[in-house]
Amino acid sequence: MTLYIACDHLGVELKKELIKHLSNNGINAEEIGIENSELDDYPDFAFKLGDLVSRNIGSLGILICGNGVGMSIAANKVKGIRCVRATSVDDAFKGKNHNGCNVLAIGTNLGVDLAKEIVDTFLSTKPADVERYLKRIDKIISYENGEYNEL
């Protein structure tokens, strides 16, 4: 599995902590290669990471900004991305297991310890495999592809 990670200027320190945490657990997180500055804009990071995840089937992404909201909105504009903004372990679990999310957005406001728990849960949770969840995900994909047939 390829794991991409990116942040805006507000998430630089948390990103460093998460990369170290992941590395200590045998997981390599690939930074997306956009430099941070005080004038950077979160959509640039979300779009770049989203493009990478959507092109590399089976890969996952982690986005970090002040509270995760902006990153999740921007990432969800990229075709093929289902991004969960998680503020709890339960959000991370359900985002991936119930909704087939392939990108996690978190905020620095969570603190390092909770952020690590959320990331660990997201990465260790198996993807959706319950028929009703898969049906819902397929509807989202169909809509995204312009093929959705309303009820």
pLDDT of residue 33: 85
Residue 26 has pLDDT above 70, yes or no: yes
Whole-angstrom distance, CA of residue 145 vs CA of residue 69: 24
7, 65, 83, 101: which one is catalytic?
65
Determine whether 83 is an active site residue: no
Could you give the strand order of the β-sheet that contains 103-107, starting from the edge strand earlier in sequence? 29-31, 3-7, 60-65, 103-107, 83-85
pLDDT digits (tens, 9 = 90+) for 71-103: 999 999 999 999 999 999 999 999 999 999 999
pLDDT of residue 10: 96
Domain residue ranges of the chain, discontinuous segments joined by +: 3-144
pLDDT of residue 34: 87
**pLDDT-based confidence at 70, cuts 50/70/90?**
very high
- Report the half-sphere exposure of 28 (CA within 13 A, side-chain side): 4
9, 21, 83, 98: which one is catalytic?
98
**pLDDT-based confidence at 150, cuts 50/70/90?**
confident
Determine whether 21 is an active site residue: no
* Beta strands at 29-31 and 83-85: parallel, antiparallel or unpaired: unpaired
Which CATH class name applies to 3-144?
alpha beta
pLDDT digits (tens, 9 = 90+) for 100-148: 999 999 999 999 999 999 999 999 999 999 999 999 999 999 999 999 8
Tell me the two tokens of residue 83: 């991004």
Whole-angstrom distance, CA of residue 2 vs CA of residue 85: 20
- Its pTM stands at 0.95
**pLDDT-based confidence at 151, cuts 50/70/90?**
low
10 Å Cβ neighbour count for 138? 12
